Structure 1
Amino acid sequence: MSGLVVIGASYAGVQAALTVREAGYSGPVTVVADEAVLPYQRPPLSKDFLLGETTAQGLLMRDEAIFTGRRIDLLLGRRVVELDRNAGRVVLAGDAVLDFDSLVIATGSRARPITIHGAELDGVCYLRSIADAIDLKARLDRASEIVIVGGGFIGLEVASSAIKLGKRVTVIEAGSRLLERAVSSVVSRFLLDIHVQAGVAVKTNAAISAILGAGSRVAAVELDGGVRLGADLVVVGIGGIANDDLAVAAGLKCANGIMVDQYGRTACPGIYAAGDCAIHYSRFAGGWIRLECVQHAQDQGRAVGLAVADSREPYDSVPRFWSDQHDLRLQTVGHAAGSDRIVIRGAIDAGRFSVFHYRQDKLVAVDSINNPGDQMLARRLIAAGISPEPDQVKDISCDLRSFLKNRQ
């Protein structure tokens, strides 16, 4: 029997493998991982790991015994170099071949490289893998001036960790505000204030034109306009690129990711994709989206595992993600793109509030700072298509849970 082959020991890949077993699949299950370590959690890399609050061992998703007990074979440190969808096989580096009845592509995404003068200098770093994190942690110990390119989640989380380590930190963001495409302007301003109060220098509407070196090492960055900032370490966090190269080469339909349906199926029978590398139609976004977040990867991976085991349950989760920065937690649920009205619930000055996003009078997303209760409630409201009136949202005495009770 050829069984199931999963390419990638990502959240999506691991979840698909575990789910297929839980659903009663009896065939062989093999997970191929290009990293030579057991599957691990990535969100703590920019926070707890850099701060020394957890170790590489503490990052593991599951003990090896879990995979052994479920008869899931892990091929670590092996890379798939070719997908032959017609023959139903994948080729590994070194020419080893794995045949499959079903295939799950869960190859994740990679860091988008910066393409300016000096990008190749020693001291220009990215953070995507445990190897990146180990290298960055060692460099942070020796560095004093850090420039972070990109005011997105990775950049701000690294900034939070680096300032706690006593470093001089500057964040350079080309957009007009932090997390411009992810959260409301209210949350952006709040986060800006928090970072500045912690000692992080933040420059928005600023772009780096060159990274300057002393010999082969980073020494400074130059901004458009000629301003120079000293730096002995540059961390680049300017987004991710879907790892869909295998799928593209195999002729699968791709558009900023591998296109899949609500069960994670590609247009090729027996081949699925999930997680960062996949793009799907979302009723919450009103279009095709590719998400890079843990919860999405796990939920979609589960849907794929069920589909492989012929126990279908469509993926229809409300998008949600979180970010820990300094001593606060940002959480977002829904998809705010195209929203035309925001409503604030709670007190911004108290550091515990939520921003409700509406699109044509429909609740589509909620950003929260230190307010998990609102997040749990908002997820249920958005999933059910329930939209409290803005005036009701503003009134903190209004129990928004009543809208769910009334629907039952």
Structure 2
Amino acid sequence: MTTGAPRIVIIGGGHAGANAAASLRQAGHDGEIVMISEETVLPYHRPPLSKAYLKGGSTLESLYLRPAKFYETNNIETLLDARATGIDTERKVVTLADGREVGWELLILATGSVARRLDGPGADLAGVHVLRDIRDAEALHARIVDGARLVIIGAGYIGLEVAASARDLGAEVTILEREPRILSRVACEELSGFFHRFHAGRGVVFRTGVSVAGLHGEDGEVRSVELSDGEILPADVVLVGIGGSPCDALAIDAGLHCDNGVIVDLAGQTSTKGIYAIGDMTRRPMPHYGDRMFRLESVPNAVDQAKAVAADIMGKPLPTPDLPWFWSDQYELKLQIAGVPFDADRQIVRHTPDKENSFSIFHMSGDRIVAVEAVNALGDFVAGKKLIMAGQPVDIARLSDASVAVKTLIATAAD
């Protein structure tokens, strides 16, 4: 392809990288696009890995973000099973593990994040897993069978989602959390208490305020988890779900400004001209929350940043930044979160009338909503998200009244 448009190389074949390639074509870029991915398969949806795919309810092909024909039709070259090992900013080449060099005129980093692992005795035993990609999900699926004893280290969303899937498959589940409550870093106390009770009602055993001293095995296979107080918990399989770290080693080595992720602006531009970064690996501005910078690990963020980079490259206005939002599916529960509760000074809890396990929690800063957590309450999530983005004050009395639909407050705020 010889159009005079810059050759763009994307490092990373996840949600961010794949959407960057697609967004560039949709924005009108007709130059070469090369996507380098360590994965052996085309880009796929990752959220189902802890849910439907883990339970065997979906195929790999059904997870693909786009079919193979899309990349062929749109002249997007995909280098699969290829690991980038270096970036030469002067020569403008990416070096691969097999020695190949890939030249670029513009570079987009979309390397995501890596799951944190245990660093202690027994961490390398067979049967000890993390869940970040398709290979992790397949390995974990093979071990979570009816009657298997699963110990999950870390009570975050991934741990809870896997716990729900494992219980549906008939496994015994124990979740260990070193903090006093589950979801302590990502949810308010009201929400974490609800999920604790709900999972416990489904047979999940929680141990909070505990730490792991080590793992023990036989013949190279994990058999138990030892707690710091000496207690031994039997285990046939262990999932380590203690968060992720940005994959920013390439960026650091290339001299890009990094601080818990690659620092970018709203256009995804890094500190080096001509190099962009998007997705989990970035630390980006939060325009709805003043001058804050934050690292977001979410599919919507990856998609939004991909669109912004494409717009910037094509010289088009940047899309209006969306509000950060997230979701989690556990059993028949759908949790949807909009916003981040920065500077929140109180919470308003609304229980949906005549509907079990349906409620929302609004995080307030004065008379403005800064975040909403909604369980089986789509209407509250959608309306709350709009109100946060509008930045308008709301009538606290009406918001506190569950008989008043939250969407009616949007018109009030606009008046």
- Shorter-chain TM-score range: over 0.9
Cα contact 2:328–2:334 (8 A) shared by 1: yes
Structure 1 residue 401: Cα displacement: 2.6
Cα contact 1:262–1:314 (8 A) shared by 2: no
Match of 1:299 in 2: 304
Q: Distance in 2 between matches of 1:296 and 1:199?
A: 34
Structure 1 residue 362: Cα displacement: 2.7
Amino acid at match of 1:271: I
Q: Distance in 2 between matches of 1:304 and 1:10?
A: 16
* Deviation by residue 1:129-176 (Cα, 9 ceiling, x = unmatched): 101111111121387111000000110011001111111110001112
Cα contact 1:263–1:314 (8 A) shared by 2: no
Structure 1 residue 347: Cα displacement: 4.3
Which of 54, 63, 66 lines up with 2:58 in the alignment? 54
Amino acid at match of 2:269: R
Amino acid at match of 2:58: T
1:94 aligns to 2:87 (yes or no): no
Q: Distance in 1 between matches of 2:367 and 2:124?
A: 49
Amino acid at match of 1:299: D
Match of 2:176 in 1: 172
Structure 1 residue 387: Cα displacement: 3.1
Q: Distance in 2 between matches of 1:166 and 1:278?
A: 38
1:103 aligns to 2:107 (yes or no): yes
Q: Distance in 1 between matches of 2:243 and 2:400?
A: 34
Structure 1 residue 120: Cα displacement: 1.2
1:386 aligns to 2:392 (yes or no): yes
Cα contact 1:33–1:78 (8 A) shared by 2: yes
Q: Map 1:3-402 to 2 at 5 A.
A: 3-141=7-145, 144-286=148-290, 287-314=292-319, 316-347=321-352, 350-402=356-408
Amino acid at match of 1:172: L
Q: Distance in 1 between matches of 2:116 and 2:62?
A: 27
Q: What secondary structure is seen at the aligned counterpart in 1 of 2:288?
A: coil
Amino acid at match of 1:363: I
Amino acid at match of 1:402: T
Residues 388 and 144 of structure 1: CA distance in aligned 2, closer, same or farther (over 3 Å): same
Match of 2:411 in 1: 405
Q: What secondary structure is seen at the aligned counterpart in 1 of 2:118?
A: coil
Q: Distance in 1 between matches of 2:157 and 2:39?
A: 24
Q: What secondary structure is seen at the aligned counterpart in 2 of 1:20?
A: helix
* Deviation by residue 1:48-106 (Cα, 9 ceiling, x = unmatched): 01111101111111101111111111111111111111222211122211111111100
Structure 1 residue 365: Cα displacement: 0.2
Q: What secondary structure is seen at the aligned counterpart in 2 of 1:280?
A: strand
Which has the higher mean CA deviation after the structures are superposed, 126-135 or 385-394? 385-394
Cα contact 1:386–1:403 (8 A) shared by 2: no
Structure 1 residue 16: Cα displacement: 1.1
Percent identity of paired positions between Structure 1 and Structure 2: 38
* Deviation by residue 1:222-279 (Cα, 9 ceiling, x = unmatched): 1121111110111000000100110000000000100000100011111100000111
Q: What secondary structure is seen at the aligned counterpart in 2 of 1:141?
A: coil
Which has the higher mean CA deviation after the structures are superposed, 234-243 or 93-102? 93-102
* Deviation by residue 1:188-236 (Cα, 9 ceiling, x = unmatched): 1110111001000011111111111123211111112111111011100
Residues 387 and 175 of structure 1: CA distance in aligned 2, closer, same or farther (over 3 Å): farther
Q: 1 or 2 for the larger relative contact order (CA 8 Å, sep ≥6)?
A: 1
Which has the higher mean CA deviation after the structures are superposed, 307-316 or 245-254? 307-316
Q: Distance in 2 between matches of 1:74 and 1:84?
A: 21
Q: What secondary structure is seen at the aligned counterpart in 2 of 1:62?
A: coil
Cα contact 2:246–2:282 (8 A) shared by 1: yes
Amino acid at match of 1:351: N
Structure 1 residue 390: Cα displacement: 2.7
Q: What secondary structure is seen at the aligned counterpart in 1 of 2:58?
A: coil
Q: What secondary structure is seen at the aligned counterpart in 1 of 2:196?
A: helix
Amino acid at match of 1:267: S
Structure 1 residue 117: Cα displacement: 1.5
Structure 1 residue 107: Cα displacement: 0.4
Structure 1 residue 314: Cα displacement: 4.8
Q: What secondary structure is seen at the aligned counterpart in 2 of 1:170?
A: strand
Cα contact 1:39–1:61 (8 A) shared by 2: yes
Query: Which sections of structure 1, spanning at least 5 residues, go unmatched?
Result: none
Q: What secondary structure is seen at the aligned counterpart in 1 of 2:297?
A: coil
Cα contact 2:92–2:104 (8 A) shared by 1: yes
Q: Distance in 2 between matches of 1:264 and 1:171?
A: 37
Amino acid at match of 2:92: G
Cα contact 2:12–2:110 (8 A) shared by 1: yes
Count residues with an aligned counterpart.
408
RMSD: 1.6
Cα contact 1:344–1:393 (8 A) shared by 2: no
Cα contact 1:143–1:232 (8 A) shared by 2: no
